[in-house]
Amino acid sequence: MVMFVRDLDVSVDFYRELLGMEVTVRSTTAALLVSADNLQVYLRAMGGDASRALGTVGIQYVIWTAADEQDLRRCEQFLKDAKAHVHTRTGDGFTLVEGSDPSGVPVMVAYPGPDLAVRRKIMRRIYAW
């Protein structure tokens, strides 16, 4: 995933802590974060006045899957501590924690993933921004 952000340092710290990733490469304008299972997130600094409109063509947000229930609670607490927690919902066999990253981009973490709790309907959140 490639994500444009307003402040690289703040965003690197946020995603590193939330998703348990390590910074493997970094420049003054971009960073590559990699997870233990080799998922990659590139963050690219666009500046404090960069805009992003929800509801336009392109990736709107990504739903990450927590490793287990304890990891999901850790992510929820991190978002609460960062004053970035929006809400937590449970239904259809899984729990979804939603927050906002430092650039205002929605961030979602679910558990269990679709491999353990088959999704049987489209979440209402997909239609709302």
Residue 55: inside a domain: no
Q: Which residue range is the domain that position 124 belongs to?
A: 61-129
pLDDT tens, 55-86?
Answer: 554 567 788 999 999 999 999 999 999 999 99
State mean pLDDT over 100-121: 88
Residue 53: inside a domain: no
Give me the CATH number covering residue 113.
3.10.180.10
Number of independent structural domains in the chain? 2
Residues 62/108, Cβ–Cβ less than 8 Å: yes
Residues 22/32, Cβ–Cβ less than 8 Å: no
Q: How confident is the model at residue 32 (pLDDT cuts 50, 70, 90)?
A: very high
37 and 65 part of one domain: no
Residue 10: inside a domain: yes
42 and 67 part of one domain: no
Q: How confident is the model at residue 125 (pLDDT cuts 50, 70, 90)?
A: confident
Residues 64/109, Cβ–Cβ less than 8 Å: yes
10 and 42 part of one domain: yes
- What is the C-alpha separation between 110 and 75, in angstroms, rounded? 10
- Would you call 30 helix, strand, or coil by DSSP? strand
Give me the CATH number covering residue 3.
3.30.720.120
128 and 66 part of one domain: yes
Residues 44/30, Cβ–Cβ less than 8 Å: yes
